Amino acid sequence: MKMKAPVSKNDLVTVQFEDLTQDGSGVAKVDGYPLFVPFALPGEKATVKVIKANKGYGFGRLVEILEASPDRVENPCSLHKECGGAQLLHLKYEGQLRAKEKQVRDVVERIGGLKGIQVHPVLGMENPWSYRNKVQVPVGEQNGRMIAGYFKKRSHEIVNMENCGVELSMDDSIVLKVLDICKANGISPYDENEHKGILRHIMVRWAKETGEIMIVLITRTRTLPNSDEIVKDIRTSIPNVKSIVHNINTKRTNVILGDRSATLWGSSTITDYIGEIKFAISPRSFYQVNPYQTKVLYDKALEYAELTGEETVIDAYCGIGTISLFLAQKAKKVYGVEIVEDAIKDAKRNAEINGITNAEFIVGASEDVITNMAKEGIKADVIVVDPPRKGCDEALLNTIIAMKPKRVVYVSCNPGTLARDLRILEAGGFQTKEVQPVDMFPQTTHVECVSQLILK
């Protein structure tokens, strides 16, 4: 016999919230039946309208807060509910850090099945606002007016960033200046539905330590009309600009950057530092977007690697060599492995500009390259992984287990896949010593972690 949900669509119910989901929604239960409600906080009592009732769980909309959480703060952004870019603006920052620590601990125990693992309090920011060093925003038209902004939650409708009460960092104000310059020079906005118009996206990259700025104009067309005037106006309006790049993306796609770029003026890269290490950053370079917390994250990875100067280290998913070069300062030899060829070119260039000779970079899938290294007699004392959100490839985890390094340092942007992979490594003979969450994305639900595992 089918069990019927205790609530139906359009019901008004009074509930007590117990928890937060990983996307920041409040969780309440009606006779054991979970209701997920955006913008609600644990400990709050509220009236909720049921908007969807599935068999095992439902979704609701907050109608009235009857008892507010002491961690609730007034939301500084009027577009918060439309945009969805910063999901925790209504939660005091100290509360955000506690929620993220709980999230990591819960998934390590529930998904990883690992009890008693030390999960430290989250390393947060002193000033958790306007921290991004890179923005890339779509350009479109609204009521006959050219705008740039962020996509509305679960849609491709642009929310005009001029009204953003939260971000408006230096990068955002530069985007608005560039938008005005493009308007003044007759550049039309891209129409996604018709695949017409010129300007698709504006990207701004900013180097915290040097102040250098890169501006990338991404167009549907192979040419950028009035490009000389646009360059002149940008240079006049934005003093620290070092690089102005035209990127061409002619395809009907959600991918932002196209395959071809041309430097309209200045350098093809900008330069930044993490600690003592200098990095050349191109439009495509993967580089952590929170420069204030990047060194915090990498210092922790270096601490967990426990390097004495005698170790051979393999850095899987090395990107442009950020962690590899950081580790090379204390290791005997570092091998960086990355499947993206352009990233390896950047990594080699970054090693060269820093005069680092004990780091070697190899193109290929980590599981294949590291397996071949083992066959050639190369043994790693430490393996560092920093995979994308989907976590490590299972073949790579099996390769790590077979290679038996003394330590594994796992840098993760997704606690769920981290917990899954820790469980696999534990079953393969490693012990998770500790997990350190780092808040790289304040006001959002995202949290990074660094974990140390040792060979049992």
Collect all residues with Cβ–Cβ distance below 8 Å to 91 and sequence separation of at least 6. Answer: 41, 71, 72, 73, 99
Between CA 118 and CA 105 the distance in angstroms is: 9
Active-site residue flag, 413: yes
How far from the centroid of its chain's Cα atoms is residue 163's Cα?
23
Encoded tokens for 195: 């695949």
| Beta-bridge partners for 430 | 455
The kind and range of the H/E element at 403 are: helix 394-403
Q: CA torsion angle for 160, 165, 171, 174 (degrees, to 10)?
A: 60
Q: Which residues, in sequence order, are CB contacts of 153 under 8 Å at separation 6+?
A: 82, 83, 84
- Pairwise CA distance, residues 415 & 307, whole Å: 26
Given 182, 318, 392, 413, the catalytic residue: 413
Query: Which of 366, 356, 364 is CA-nearest to residue 333?
Result: 356
Angstrom distances, CA of residue 200 to CA of 120, 136, 139, 190, 251 = 42, 10, 5, 5, 11
Helix (H, G, I), strand (E, B) or coil at 289: coil
The length of the chain, given as a count of residues: 456
The closest alpha carbon to 417, from 185, 81, 45, 104, belongs to: 104
Q: What are phi and psi of 146, to 5 degrees?
A: -75, 125
Rg of the chain's alpha carbons, rounded to an integer?
Answer: 24
Q: What is the residue type of 32?
A: G
Q: Which residues contact 425 (CB under 8 A, 6 or more apart)?
A: 397, 400, 401, 408, 410, 432, 453
Q: Which residue has 């191109």 as its token pair?
A: 282
- Fill in the DSSP letter of residue 387: -
- The residue whose two tokens read 């200046």 is 177
Active site residues: 413
